[in-house]
Amino acid sequence: MASKIWHVLELLEWTTSYFQKHNIPNPRLDAEVLLGHLLKKSRLQLYLHFDMPVFQEDLTILRELIKKRIARTPISYLTNHKEFMSLNFYVDENVLIPRPETEFIVETVLKSNDNKPENILEIGTGSGAIAISLAVNMPECGIIATDICKKALTVAKKNRDLHECADRIELIQGNLFEPIKQVKPKKFNWIVSNPPYISIDESKELSKDIYDHEPHIALIAGDDGLSVIRRLILEAPNFLLPKGKLIFEIGAKQAEPVKAMLDEQPIYIHSQFINDYAGIERVVVANVD
């Protein structure tokens, strides 16, 4: 690339072709996102500047980004950016990349809120996408967000500061509910979570983009994928106010075993399963008495 003056259109076409040869999904889109990130231009702006030259300094960086994408590093980690609930979030390999289906958790909580102050606990916050989206849209609420990983909480703090909601979100390190025993409030209107729910066997079928780069602690949950969900269901009632709700994401084949687990706990008086965009039961809402 350094032997000539390259222009935006040429680079897009070359990168797209190179990605195609290496079986990268969405080769054109990935080429546009990487070049746009490098040049600090939107995809639309790239099309408006097809003839703009790209010089050696940027070409060197682009070459490294392309190599990493060929090695199946996810685009979001290369750009340190992911959109969630129409908000921009910093992400790196210490946190799971937020998925569109997880937005159903936030949307469900927002629809259920009557503009009254509520206490919310998030278990396993990762990038902070759920907690921050709730704080931005429900400024009257107080939120505690936990994560077992210190590096993940560093990312969450970065995003919390970015969205100027440090006064509404307290970040605490610890495993599931353990750190909540030391803080106030200890009871919440909502407990929200996108827990790990992939089984060990299922993890072997994950794409290289996911398995080789996203944190396994945020993905894999034992032999059946339910080890963390099981603890959420068992322990959440101890931290919920009367009429409180537990809401969490599940895997594509986990609706039936999760229903059975909820039925075994009489404190849950009602449960609802919400379908994702593919029609899969993806989000569970369980109400306590």
**What tens digit of pLDDT does each residue of 134-180 get?**
999 999 999 999 999 999 999 999 999 999 999 999 999 999 999 99
Lowest mean pLDDT among 70-84, 114-128, 255-269: 114-128
CB atoms within 10 A of CB 174: 16
- Residues 230, 234: Cα–Cα separation, whole Å: 6
Nearest to 97 by CA among 209, 6, 257: 209
pLDDT in tens, 268-288: 999 999 999 999 999 999 999
The amino acid sitting at 21 is: K
For residue 45 the two structure tokens come to 């702006």
Q: Is the pLDDT of residue 238 over 50?
A: yes
Give me the mean pLDDT over the 24-41 stretch.
95
Cβ atoms of 255 and 248 within 8 Å: the answer is: no
The amino acid sitting at 178 is: E
Give me the mean pLDDT over the 196-204 stretch.
96
* pLDDT at res. 1: 45
Q: Is the pLDDT of residue 2 over 60?
A: no
* pLDDT at res. 182: 81
Of all residues in the chain, the percent with pLDDT exceeding 70 is 99
At 45, is the pLDDT very low, low, confident or very high (cuts 50, 70, 90)?
Answer: very high
**pTM exceeds cut of 0.85:** yes
**CB neighbour burial string for 58-69, b if at least 16 within 10 angstroms, e if fewer:** eeeebeebbebb
- Residues 191, 238: Cα–Cα separation, whole Å: 11
Listed in order, strand segments (DSSP E) in 101-226 are 119-123, 142-147, 169-173, 188-193
Give me the mean pLDDT over the 185-201 stretch.
94
Residue by residue, DSSP assigns 126-145 as: TTSHHHHHHHHH-TT-EEEE
Q: What's the chain's average pLDDT?
A: 94
Three-class DSSP category at 98 = coil
* pLDDT at res. 3: 65
Give the residue, 4 or 194, on which the prediction is more confident.
Answer: 194
Sign (positive or negative) of CA dihedral 177, 182, 188, 192: negative
Cβ atoms of 165 and 141 within 8 Å: the answer is: no
